[in-house]
Amino acid sequence: MIPIDQPNHANQPARPNRHKRTLFRPWSRERDPQHYTKMELRKRSDDKYHSGRWTKESKAYRAEHPLCAMCQERGDVTPTEVVDHIIPSQVCEDFWDQNNWQPLCRACNKLKGRTLDKKAIRKANRLKDNE
């Protein structure tokens, strides 16, 4: 018989508090590279894209060119979301030359970045190596 002043689980081993939450701090320990997210593994873009000047100029350019250039070529009407460098910024000589800019929607910018930009960068690197 269990004494009245003692709870039923008194003879059981102590269990850790399951309700206590701990914060995940990725900086506090090393992680296996396969657990990094796609964005964590991605190289940081050029610092010029993170400047106040780029924010102002790209916003003004989008206001002047409200429709996606690639969609317009196909006959679609899609609002501009990003300003893209026609010749990739890593290759072009003047980052701020607006003649090298085009307005694109996000879908077209992703498509161009996956195909055309990579080809242009590889070609420019080959030309540099041959010089």
- Residue pLDDT, tens place only, 90-115: 888 899 999 999 999 999 998 888 87
What per-residue confidence (pLDDT) applies to 8? Answer: 57
E strands of the chain, at which residues?
A: 82-85, 101-104
Residue 76 and residue 95 in contact, taking contact as beta carbons nearer than 8 Å: no
Element (H, E) at 91: none
The reply to whether the predicted model has a pTM over 0.85 is no
Residues in Cβ contact with 113 at an 8 Å cutoff, skipping those fewer than 6 apart: none
Domain limits, the chain? 58-131
Structure tokens at 20: 């206590």
